[in-house]
Amino acid sequence: MSTEAVVSAIKESGSTRSSLRIAGRSTWLDAGRPVRADKTLSLRHDSGVVSYVPGDLTLTVRAGTPLSEIERVTREHDQWLPLDPYGSPDGTIGATIATASAGPLASSFGLPRDLLLGLEFVNGRGDVVRGGGKVVKNVAGFDLSRLLTGSWGTLGVITEVTLRLYALPKADRTFAVALKGSKKEVASLVRAIVMSPLTPFALQLLNPPVVRALDIGEHPVCLIRLGGNEAAVDVQLRALSSLADSKEVDTAVWDGLRNLENGAECVIRISGLPASFREVSAAMLSDEYPWISEYIDPVRGVLRLVLRAPDDAAASEDSVLGIDPAGRPDEHVVFEKLPGESWDGIPSAVSDSLSQGVKKAYDPHNILNPGILGD
């Protein structure tokens, strides 16, 4: 597999007006709306490092490179790509960028758009296009890299990406604070932690089903990842101790959290003003619905709901969670994964005329992942 192979696959589809399902390693093909495509174009074999100069803290890889491979390669030089999307680390970087998937580290290291320096893609006409560059700062030309990030393969097939890396922290420790007491007490503790001078790598509030699945207790938990030099972690740990009791847990707990979503039938992400999540989080962390896993990033302002049993999911959507697909004016509801029929009536996020204009320009024959964004 190479860029040329992607070009010829797309050109052939264009000439026969047949559509393509774009796939990485197919670990998350059930995300997004159902796609009806004639063929699958998989990038799984287009994998590997194109260039890596550790001193530059930048890495260029082919799109089919699994995240786990990036982790392995960079770790050899005491570096990492602080991007930990939920789901499997076997997923590819191309798909991660295409779906703009992020995980707990996003609240401190940013979203995929913030870690991406440049990319190469093949548009729906088979043209090879590059956006951005390979250096850490760049404003040459219009920003095609951001445009492609989160476009779910509908504007082009990403073939190569350049990313910003960081040095692995000297210390990287994770602590669990049990959230006990009344809703009010929990809310004020969460607020105190978020507004404190702590600068955690990641901070997540987990409801009891998640806590049990990760085997770190019974009560809802505030999971805090502190990283940096030893002194910075120690001082933060002292600050944390002054706010609440905490116990150290294995940092591998974060992998457990990421993997929790594998095989889930239904994943919903709600984002809004961070402060509103601090206020309501106490109520959301209740133990009333054991089939719903919930975790909240109160710094970033994101709540994820993961439902395993399809019947419960369908039943609970409106009545239990009160989620209106259109969202409330102060929040956005993004359905990452739903049982097929549940998509009906959920509005597309790309139906506006600018988005439609971009789609027409980049994929005029509508052959790339048709339907995945509901347009």
Partner 1 sequence: MTQPTPAPTQASTSPAQFPVAERLAEIVGERHVLSRPSELLVYNSDGLPGYRRQPRLAVFPGTREETVAVVRLLAAEGLSFVPRGAGTGLSGGALADDIVVIGLHRLKKIISLDVANRRATVEPGVVNLRLNKHVAPHGLLYAPDPSSEAACTIGGNVAENAGGPHCLKYGVTLNHVLAITVLLPSGEVVELGSKVGERDGYDLRGAFIGSEGCFGLALDITVKLTPKPQTVRTLLADFTSIDQAAHVTSAIIASGIVPAALEFMDGPTIRVVEDSIYAASYPRDAEAILLIELDGLEAGVSADLEAVRRICLDGGARNVKVARDDAERMKLWQGRKKAFGAMGRLAPHLIVQDAVIPRTRLPEILATIRAISEKYGVVVCNVFHAGDGNLHPNIAYSADDPAESERVHKAMTEIMQACIDAGGSITGEHGVGLDKMGYMEAIFSESSLNAMCELRAVFDPERRSNPGKVVPVHACKEWHAVPGGRLRTGTSSLTDAPEPRPVEAEPSHPSAR
Residues 6+ apart with CB under 8 A from 47: 61, 62, 64, 65, 66, 69, 92
Dihedral pair phi/psi, residue 71, rounded to 5°: -60, -45
Minimum CB–partner distance for residue 346 and partner 1 (Å): 11
To which residue do tokens 């990283």 refer?
A: 227
Residues near partner 1 (CB under 8 A), total: 75
Tokens for 40, please give them: 């699958």
The correct pick among 30, 234, 309, 312 for binding partner 1 (CB under 8 A) is 234
Among the residue ranges 138-146, 176-184, 217-225, 306-314, the one whose residues contact partner 1 (CB under 8 A):
138-146
Instruction: Kindly state whether residue 192 participates in binding partner 1, applying the rule CB under 8 A.
Output: no
The correct pick among 8, 36, 75, 78 for binding partner 1 (CB under 8 A) is 78
The correct pick among 10, 155, 157, 161 for binding partner 1 (CB under 8 A) is 155
Q: How far apart are CA 19 and CA 30, in angstroms?
A: 18
Instruction: Kindly state whether residue 245 participates in binding partner 1, applying the rule CB under 8 A.
Output: no
The correct pick among 22, 43, 161, 302 for binding partner 1 (CB under 8 A) is 302
Looking at the Cβ atoms of 31 and 43, the one nearer to partner 1 is 31
Among residue numbers 252 through 271, which ones bind partner 1 (CB under 8 A)? 270-271
Give the H or E element holding residue 61: strand 58-62
Strand partners, 272: 331
Minimum CB–partner distance for residue 136 and partner 1 (Å): 5
Among residue numbers 16 through 45, which ones bind partner 1 (CB under 8 A)? none
Minimum CB–partner distance for residue 350 and partner 1 (Å): 5
Three-class secondary structure of residue 109 per DSSP: helix
Q: How far apart are CA 200 and CA 258, in angstroms?
A: 18
Q: Are 135 and 129 in contact (CB under 8 A)?
A: no
Q: What Cα–Cα distance (Å) separates residue 138 from each residue in 6, 161, 164, 210?
A: 27, 15, 12, 41
Looking at the Cβ atoms of 218 and 352, the one nearer to partner 1 is 352
In the shown chain, the binding pattern of residues 272 to 291 toward partner 1, with x for contact by CB under 8 A and - for none, equals xxxx----------------
